[in-house]
Amino acid sequence: MSLGNDATLYWFILGWLALASLIVHRTVHSRFGLTLRGIRSNETRIASIGLHAYRYKLAAFVLSGTLCAVAGALLANLAQFVSPSYMHWARSAELLLMVLLGGMSSVLGPLVGAAAFMFLEEGLGMVTPHWPLLMGAILVVVVMYARNGIVELVGRLRRSPQDAR
């Protein structure tokens, strides 16, 4: 299998995305995931029920770092190029913006957010070279009116016709 072929590389990366999403989905709903959600919800209470928050947070960071490492390796294959600019904070910020845009508290959110981000970047880029300005405005609106991003917005729109009845 040669990753030099565009189509092969695409399917290869898509396969990894599917696997990573499955892993994250299972993790969120597992006992470990319940512990993490508990820590986020009320960290001081965690010790009093006999759990050591630090160990679970550490494991979560390791898991998240591992997934990012896979993504990094795939990116290097896609771009056939690695430069120090990948370490610039703006790259991390882009990833965070994707999550904010799509929605933080779901597995689907970051996927939707990444797609939306790429779409906006391309689309707005065609309209004006100052597209980050427009992107900024859109982000502010999303953060103000939909704390959980596009996923929540869509969910609300789908529910509202029934609410009206």
Partner 1 sequence: MQGAAPVLSVRGLVKRYGGLVVTQDVDLDLRRGEVHAIVGPNGAGKTTLLGQLTGDVRPDAGRIYFGTRDITTLPAHRRARLGLGRSFQITSVFPDLTVIENALLAGQAHAGHSFRFWQHALDDHERLATAMALLAQVGLADHADRLAGPMSHGEHRQLEIAIALAGQPQVLLLDEPMAGMGIEDSATLTRMLLAMKGSVSMLLVEHDMNAVFALADRISVLVYGRCIATGTPDEIRADAEVRRAYLGDDASAP
CB of 140 to partner 1, least distance (A): 25
CB of 107 to partner 1, least distance (A): 14
Residue 56 or residue 131: which is nearer to partner 1 going by CB? 56
Determine which helix (DSSP H) or strand (DSSP E) holds 21, and give its type and residue range.
helix 6-29
CB of 47 to partner 1, least distance (A): 4
Integer Cα distance of 149 and 152 in angstroms: 6
Residue 108 region by backbone torsions, left for phi larger than 0, else alpha for psi between -120 and 50, else beta: alpha
Residue 51 or residue 78: which is nearer to partner 1 going by CB? 51
Residue 59 or residue 93: which is nearer to partner 1 going by CB? 59
Integer Cα distance of 142 and 136 in angstroms: 10
Q: Give the chain's length.
A: 165
CB of 103 to partner 1, least distance (A): 15
* Binding positions for partner 1, rule: CB under 8 A: 26-27, 29-35, 37-38, 40-42, 44-52, 56, 59
Name residues whose C-beta falls within 8 Å of residue 23's C-beta, 6 or more positions apart in sequence.
Answer: 67
